Amino acid sequence: MSILLGILTFFLIIISVLLILLVLMQKAKNDGGAGAALGGGMTESAFGADTTNVLSGTTIKAAIAFFVLSFVLYLGHLYQRNHGAGAGESLPTIEAPATPAATTDNASAPAVTVPAESTEAKDGN
């Protein structure tokens, strides 16, 4: 599933670049702008007098492909997340015991401190 999503993402990037170039190649209403700078006259010689119709139609088709492919990728990522595809992609579940671990007898006995007798009491003075 992740390979298919990767391939579709690649095609989405290609369609995005194509859509950007198609929008920039179109002539503005006042025959200026980026369309003239990117070879607006050259597109007329390639497509004929119907250049604006060809570029507009291709832009519409590329925009539809962009939105459909984006929606398919969205659904694919939702499916992948909800169905836990891939063992390495999710965090492992760690179960801890509810009670503390068993300890040894020496460690569980409380430490008792006995005060040392002073040296004066031993001497009897």
Please tell me the pTM assigned to this model: 0.53
* Cα 80 to Cα 83: distance, rounded to the nearest angstrom: 5
For the chain, the domains span: 2-84
> What pLDDT is stored for residue 82 in this prediction?
85
Query: Do residues 54 and 47 touch, judged by C-beta distance below 8 A?
Result: yes
What is the mean pLDDT, run by run of 10 residues, along the chain of 125 residues?
89 95 80 56 60 83 95 92 64 74 59 60 56
Classify residue 70 as exposed, middle or buried by CB count within 10 Å of its CB (0-12, 13-18, 19+).
middle
- Selection from 50, 64, 51, 66 nearest residue 9 by Cα: 66
- Rounded to 10 degrees, what is the CA torsion of 34, 38, 42, 43? -70
